[in-house]
């Protein structure tokens, strides 16, 4: 049985093309296509050939395809030809009724997906893993999951927008979703959908057979340009030999309409990565262009500067007539100050295959659904720029639209391909993550598009109050042999070294203690979906655009010993990641480096269980003692303890509750008093008399003087008597 769907990509002026199929001694002619510019599909699509063939595959003759065109009244011109070998892949067992391609009224367009062997088992296993009962086409009742043992109340505040779902599905960001373990996550493929074995190259409805010019067939390693392609499919099944036995049902009975369909196409470009650089700096300024038919969308001023991993978050909406406009081309360009711009790479997506494939995504009410989450999520794919689209298949999402039977929702990461230098071969130039929604206009207007606009970084302000320091190393020795340190604390956010701040100096600390009551204020921008700080800066003085750097929100504090005539000595380092903040100790005595239990008890049954870290973006405030360490050859060593108050405010809250740096005005939220320091804490260069008063141990000298006087008196008495 032959499904002759249509012809694609014919070049030049073609009048009335038709296809000749020869299998052994049997020949079959398709009806001619009268106007290929208006409809490239054959008027009749399903044909039957009956032939006796050997059972062994190697003896089965190939199917020969010849493309003819009417060159005159009674003359035909051979345009291209091809041979189809390996027909064993088209053999099929006697099909069941539910395996027929399509269901519904012929030609109405209201057809459903094909039931493929093995699909039911997959769906059943999927349902069993998630506690569902029922089967396709019937209402399914979800089995309520077992209640969670304990879930932190902070997790309920998790923001669950589209980007949250996306980053929760990317393993390098968050391998475990923070709002449950019911498995509702996006599926992102690392290749085109055509390369996924389960999707059969998206050619389950019809395959594409390239046709070449008449002559010798292409040799291995050669890649001649085809003159066109034939879209069709073959099915081979045995004919019953017993008399009176009814023939087996044919596969191609109910087919979708072969007329061109007006469709609304939405192209979602999420991000690209591993792009090839085009600038002398080793980076690029990429932007996206989308072309379908004669329409091209994408503006060159909407580029992402100085990056090889841009996050676009763009949606393009086009109208197209499929299959006349079936090839969607996505191009990544490099923006240059002086046009023309350079092409980084491009990929081509066949929309017709996705429209006809039963692996397509569908919008509307879901067959399976949860009652404890907001809705089903889509599947995603990754595509390399060179050709075919790979994308995820998305299950029905109630939020995606209300027109049941729409096709769309494939998220792919296709690869980008392009030429380098004078080489005619194509080379991979990167990958782009995207998906395409296809909505036939005959089914009515679709729902609103998905909002994938890139998240804008939100402004925050971190206020860190340094109260006290304990058990700091004493790095100096004064003239009297006393160990001491002139302690101060400096701090900054990772990636924002220009915002470095430091406290005043606690002079002449002889017990490792220091009092400061000093406030650090660090404004920064934060991307909540990625848990990263967004830092924009110009790499060079001559740079025209700022480079976006994303780093984890980390507070770095260092304890130093101040020296006047040499470099300062580092006494300890404390690094605090704001999204995974170690829980502070309530007192300096309980503060230990890396301690998980009670510090005074070494027995296993006395130790408390490990406590999970805090997220300062949810907790907003924390106070306590954190340990400072110094890294040595033997490992980290406890070198001090810091008493801090960390408070995180949004930019709006910071305006409503202003606070100055250090102890400057406005000194509030909270009000910081002057630290209580001993009278010996002063700079000796500015107070030499105070050095005489507080720096010298007068009580020690008094006893020394009294002892010396007694000794002299004793010598005088001895001299008098002798």
Instruction: State the pLDDT at residue 101.
Output: 42
Residue 260 CA, chain-centre distance (Å), reads 36
Residue 55 CA, chain-centre distance (Å), reads 51
Going across the sheet that includes 207-211, the strands are 46-47, 2-8, 228-234, 207-211
Collapsing DSSP to helix, strand or coil, 500 comes out as strand
Instruction: State the pLDDT at residue 545.
Output: 77
Instruction: State the pLDDT at residue 103.
Output: 37
Q: Quick check: pTM over 0.75?
A: no
Q: Closest by alpha carbon to 391, among 335, 347, 446, 344? A: 347
The domain defined by 2-93+197-234 carries CATH number 2.60.40.150: yes
Average pLDDT per run of 10 along the chain, which is 722 residues long? 90 85 88 89 87 82 90 82 87 56 38 34 37 36 41 47 78 46 63 82 88 76 82 85 69 83 92 88 90 91 90 92 91 88 90 86 52 39 40 34 32 56 63 89 89 89 95 77 85 92 89 92 90 83 78 94 87 94 92 56 50 90 94 87 95 94 92 85 53 55 79 84 74
Collapsing DSSP to helix, strand or coil, 690 comes out as helix
Measure the CA–CA gap between 14 and 37, rounded to whole angstroms: 9
Measure the CA–CA gap between 382 and 190, rounded to whole angstroms: 5
Domains 2-93+197-234 and 260-367+429-454 share a fold: yes
CB contact burial 448-480 (16+ within 10 A = b; e otherwise): eebebebbebeebbbbbbbbbbbbbbbbeeeee
Question: Distances from the Cα of 229 to the Cαs of 32, 77, 199, 578, 665, in angstroms?
Answer: 15, 17, 21, 58, 77
Residue 219: how many CB atoms within 10 A of its CB? Answer: 7
Instruction: State the pLDDT at residue 500.
Output: 94
Give the number of C-alpha atoms closer than 13 A to the C-alpha of residue 495, restricted to the C-beta side: 21
Alpha helices in 503-583 (DSSP H): none
Instruction: State the pLDDT at residue 698.
Output: 53
Measure the CA–CA gap between 80 and 76, rounded to whole angstroms: 12
Judge contact between 446 and 403, C-beta under 8 A.
yes
- Residue 318: φ, ψ to 5°: -135, 160
Instruction: State the pLDDT at residue 510.
Output: 84
Q: Which residues contact 169 (CB under 8 A, 6 or more apart)?
A: 185, 186, 187, 188, 380
Placement of tokens 């976006």 in the chain: 548
Q: Which two tokens stand for residue 2?
A: 């032959």
CA torsion 412-418-420-423 (nearest 10°) is 120
Measure the CA–CA gap between 202 and 194, rounded to whole angstroms: 6
**Count helices and strands in the chain by DSSP H and E runs:** 7, 34
Measure the CA–CA gap between 514 and 491, rounded to whole angstroms: 16
Instruction: State the pLDDT at residue 48.
Output: 85
Collapsing DSSP to helix, strand or coil, 153 comes out as helix
Q: How far apart are the first and last CA of the chain?
A: 142
Task: Out of 2.60.40.150, 3.20.20.150, 2.60.120.380, 3.40.50.1260, select the CATH number for domain 458-590+614-670.
Answer: 2.60.40.150
Q: Which two tokens stand for residue 552?
A: 């984890």
CA dihedral sign, ordered 35, 37, 43, 49:
positive
Instruction: State the pLDDT at residue 133.
Output: 37
Domain boundaries, the chain: 2-93+197-234, 260-367+429-454, 458-590+614-670
Placement of tokens 């049902």 in the chain: 249
Measure the CA–CA gap between 71 and 244, rounded to whole angstroms: 47
Judge contact between 641 and 470, C-beta under 8 A.
yes
Residue 552: how many CB atoms within 10 A of its CB? Answer: 14
Q: Which residues contact 719 (CB under 8 A, 6 or more apart)?
A: none
Instruction: State the pLDDT at residue 700.
Output: 63
Q: Closest by alpha carbon to 115, among 359, 353, 379, 410? A: 359
Q: Which residues contact 85 (CB under 8 A, 6 or more apart)?
A: 62
Measure the CA–CA gap between 326 and 710, rounded to whole angstroms: 112
Which residue pairs from 682-691 have beta carbons closer than 8 angstroms and sit at least 24 positions apart in sequence? 682/507, 682/508, 683/505, 683/507, 684/508, 685/564
CATH superfamily, domain 260-367+429-454, is: C2 domain (2.60.40.150)
* Residue 13 CB-density burial (10 A; 0-12 exposed, 13-18 middle, 19+ buried): exposed
Measure the CA–CA gap between 82 and 62, rounded to whole angstroms: 10
Instruction: State the pLDDT at residue 415.
Output: 64
Measure the CA–CA gap between 447 and 429, rounded to whole angstroms: 35
- Report cis status (omega within 30 of 0) of the bond before 199: no
Q: Identify the H or E element spanning 708.
A: helix 698-721
Placement of tokens 């998305």 in the chain: 394
Q: Which residues contact 602 (CB under 8 A, 6 or more apart)?
A: none
């Amino acid at each position: 049985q032959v499904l002759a769907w249509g012809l694609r990509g014919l070049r030049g002026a073609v009048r009335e093309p038709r296809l000749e199929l020869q299998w052994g001694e049997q020949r079959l002619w398709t009806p001619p296509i009268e106007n290929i510019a208006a409809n490239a599909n054959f008027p009749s699509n399903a044909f039957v050939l009956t032939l006796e063939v050997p059972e062994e595959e190697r003896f089965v003759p190939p199917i020969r395809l010849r493309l003819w065109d009417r060159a005159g009244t009674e003359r035909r011109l051979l345009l291209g030809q091809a041979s189809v070998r390996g027909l064993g892949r088209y053999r099929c067992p006697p099909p069941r009724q539910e395996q027929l391609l399509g269901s519904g009224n012929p030609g109405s367009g209201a057809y459903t997906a094909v039931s493929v062997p093995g699909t039911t088992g997959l769906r059943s296993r999927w349902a069993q893993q998630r506690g569902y009962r029922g089967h396709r086409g019937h209402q399914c009742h979800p089995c309520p999951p077992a209640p969670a043992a304990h879930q932190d109340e902070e997790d309920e505040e998790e923001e669950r927008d589209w980007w949250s779902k996306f980053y929760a599905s990317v393993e390098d960001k968050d391998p475990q979703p923070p709002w449950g373990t019911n498995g509702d996550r996006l599926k992102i493929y690392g290749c085109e959908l055509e390369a996924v074995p389960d999707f059969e190259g998206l050619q389950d409805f019809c395959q594409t057979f390239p046709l070449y010019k008449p002559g010798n067939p292409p040799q291995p390693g050669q890649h001649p340009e085809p003159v066109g392609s034939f879209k069709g499919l073959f099915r081979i099944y045995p004919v019953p030999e017993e008399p009176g036995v009814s023939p087996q049902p044919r596969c191609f009975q109910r087919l979708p309409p072969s007329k061109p369909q007006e469709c609304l196409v939405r192209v979602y470009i999420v991000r690209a990565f591993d792009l090839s650089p085009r600038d002398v700096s080793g980076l690029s300024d990429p932007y996206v262009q989308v072309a379908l038919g004669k329409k091209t969308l994408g503006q060159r001023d909407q580029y992402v500067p100085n990056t090889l991993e841009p996050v676009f978050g763009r949606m393009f909406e086009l109208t197209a007539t499929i299959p006349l406009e079936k090839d969607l081309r996505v191009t990544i360009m490099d923006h240059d100050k002086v046009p023309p711009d350079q092409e980084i790479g491009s990929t081509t997506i066949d929309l017709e295959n996705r429209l006809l494939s039963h692996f397509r995504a569908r919008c509307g009410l879901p067959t399976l659904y949860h009652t404890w989450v907001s809705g089903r999520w889509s599947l995603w794919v990754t595509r390399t720029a060179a050709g075919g689209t790979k994308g995820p298949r998305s299950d029905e999402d109630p939020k995606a639209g209300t027109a049941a039977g729409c096709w769309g929702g494939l998220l792919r990461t296709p690869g980008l391909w392009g030429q380098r230098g004078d080489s005619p071969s194509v080379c991979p130039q990167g990958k782009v993550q995207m998906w395409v929604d296809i909505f036939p206009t005959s089914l009515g207007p679709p729902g609103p598009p998905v909002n994938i606009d890139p998240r804008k970084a939100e402004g925050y302000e971190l206020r860190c109050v340094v109260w006290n320091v304990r058990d700091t190393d004493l790095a100096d020795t004064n003239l009297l042999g006393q160990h001491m340190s002139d302690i101060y604390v400096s701090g900054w956010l990772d990636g924002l070294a220009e915002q470095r701040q430091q406290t005043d100096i606690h002079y002449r600390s002889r017990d490792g203690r220091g009092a400061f009551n000093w406030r650090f204020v660090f404004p920064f921008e934060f991307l909540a979906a990625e848990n990263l700080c967004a830092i924009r800066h110009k790499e060079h003085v001559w740079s025209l655009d700022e480079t976006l750097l994303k780093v984890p929100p980390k507070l770095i504090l260092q304890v130093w010993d101040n020296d006047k005539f040499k470099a300062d000595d580092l006494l300890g380092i404390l690094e605090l990641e704001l999204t995974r903040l170690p829980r502070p100790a309530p007192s300096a005595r309980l503060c230990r480096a890396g301690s998980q239990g009670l510090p005074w008890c070494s027995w296993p049954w006395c130790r408390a269980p490990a406590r999970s870290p805090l997220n300062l973006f949810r907790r907003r405030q924390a106070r306590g003692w954190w340990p400072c360490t110094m890294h040595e050859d033997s490992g980290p060593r406890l070198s001090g303890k810091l008493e801090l108050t960390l408070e995180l405010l949004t930019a709006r809250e910071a305006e409503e509750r202003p606070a100055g740096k250090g102890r400057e005005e406005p000194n509030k939220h909270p009000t910081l008093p002057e630290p209580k320091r001993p009278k010996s804490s002063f700079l000796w260069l500015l107070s030499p008399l105070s050095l005489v008063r507080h720096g010298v141990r007068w009580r020690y000298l008094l006893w020394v003087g009294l002892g010396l006087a007694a000794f002299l008196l004793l010598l005088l008495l001895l001299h008098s008597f002798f």
